[in-house]
Each structure stands twice: as structure tokens, then as C-alpha cells.
Structure 1
């Protein structure tokens, strides 16, 4: 409640204190939240090394958001040495739990051939799963796959439909992708 200000004023510093108490007792969700607090500077100074430590503790307990955040840190080399193979492995672990952001992350790694062998067809499988949960970047990526025929038969109208949905949801890159697609036609 302190984190989001539900019923009381937001107080990141106090929420971090409570998350730390729970995290120190092994509560995976609290460990994940504490990792995010360090990652993004909520209630304390950003510290990517500490973020990775707390994400890893939660990830070891199977917490999909923490696994995904740890994957992102490996993917970008933020707080950890860049390791795209480990990022892809972690994204897959969380994606298989049904976590939409990880499904999209794995799809991107597969599409781009980063950390795994490039596989457009499998990338679309994961984008579709993320899109089915209304995950904006998954919807956008599925639209791009259809628009350009990456892993699916090219279908510009289907691609535009998905990109329009992402734009309507407020996904910032979608309008630019739609404009670029119109220019290519």
C-alpha cells in the first residue's frame, strides 16, 4: 500500500523498509520488489549490483518477474556481465511459467538471434502468447512479424491490425512502425 499509495500517501522509503524485512525472511515477492527498488531507485539510490542480488534470490525460488528482470540485466549488461545466452535461458524459464513480459523477451531474442539460434517461427509462438495476455510489446512484435513476414506468412493487414492495437494501448513505438509500413506499401 505504501508503494502505490493505496489508501495512504506513497512512501517508497518506508515500503522499502518493509520489503527488506520480508525479503530477509526469504519472501520471494518481497525480494523481487527490493530488487526493483534498487534497479529503478524507488526509495533508495539505484544500485544494479544489489538489484541483481535480490532478483537472483527471488529467481532461485521461481519468481517469474524476478527471473525476467535478471534476464534483462544479463541481456543489457546492467549490473552483471552481459550474457545473452543466460538472458535467453532465463527468459525461457519465466516464459514457460506463462509470464508475458518474459514471453516477449524470449521472442525478441529468438527473432534477433541473440543468445540463441535465430528462429522467426518460434519467436512468433512467444509473441502470440504475450499478445494473448495484452502485453503491449508482444502485440507490437506480433504485428511486425505479420507485416514483414517474419515467422509467418506476410499479411500486411493483419500486421497493421496488431500494430494499431498496440498504438491504441499507448505503446510508443507502434505509431512509427505503422507509418513506416504505410510508406513501404
Structure 2
């Protein structure tokens, strides 16, 4: 009887482990990729950081979108491209990323990143920041 209970417990544990592996949230996998990008960036391997963040950014990860914007803005791991940088800043800001909202508010206020000065858009992003408690 004890052996039968032990076998049942082992099978149940195995089933639970399989489910845990199969249904591991994509979020945790995304977090690992995001962290891999951070480590690569900190090590100066900007191209690897871009490779890590690109899929996350395409899936809507606001932090990865912001980091890609910075990479395009500064030409780190990719050719400098202000238009792509602004596109990623906008996506990140639209997804609620505060740093991107700050960048866009300043960019529209000052005419940075190839954007025309636009007090209305600057005010919009300032309002978004205020709505987020900043």
C-alpha cells in the first residue's frame, strides 16, 4: 500500500512539474530576455542587447521599447536612426512607460529628436505623467 501511494505521489509530482514547465508564463521568459539585454548592454555588447529587446519590444514590452529607442537614438548596436527612436519612444510612452513620456514631453517642448516644437503634444505627455503620479 505504501509503495502504491509513493508511486501515485511521484506521478502527481511529475504531472505538476510538466504543467509548470509547459505553462510557465511568457512574462518570466520575457523578464529573462529583458535581463539578458541589460547584462549585454552593461557589458558594452549593444548589438546583443538589441537582439534581446527587439522581440519583447515588438510584443509591447514598454521598457524594452524605451531601451530600443535609446539604442537607435544613440546608435548603440544599431545605426543611429532618429525616426525609429521616436517611434519606439512613442510606443513605450503609449504603453505607460514614464521615462518615455518624459522624453516625449521634453522633445515636443524643445523640438528634439527631429520633432517640431509642439506645445499641445508636450502638454499631453505632461498630463500623462501627472496621471501616472509624476
Task: Confirm or deny that 1:151 pairs with 2:125.
Answer: no
Post-superposition shift, 1:151?
3.4
Q: Which runs of 5+ in 1 are unaligned?
A: 1-21, 33-62, 172-185
Show the 5 A alignment for 1:38-49: none
What's the TM-score, normalizing by structure 1? 0.52
Task: Confirm or deny that 1:70 pairs with 2:33.
Answer: no
**Structure 1 residue ranges (4+ consecutive) displaced by more than 6 angstroms after TM superposition:** none
Structure 2 Cα separation of the partners of residues 144 and 73 of structure 1 = 28
Structure 2 Cα separation of the partners of residues 169 and 31 of structure 1 = 23
* Bigger Cα Rg: 2
Structure 2 Cα separation of the partners of residues 30 and 132 of structure 1 = 22
Structure 1 Cα separation of the partners of residues 123 and 61 of structure 2 = 25
Q: Choose between structure 1 and 2 for higher RCO, CA contacts under 8 A separated by at least 6 residues.
A: 2
Post-superposition shift, 1:167?
5.3
> Higher helix share goes to which structure?
2
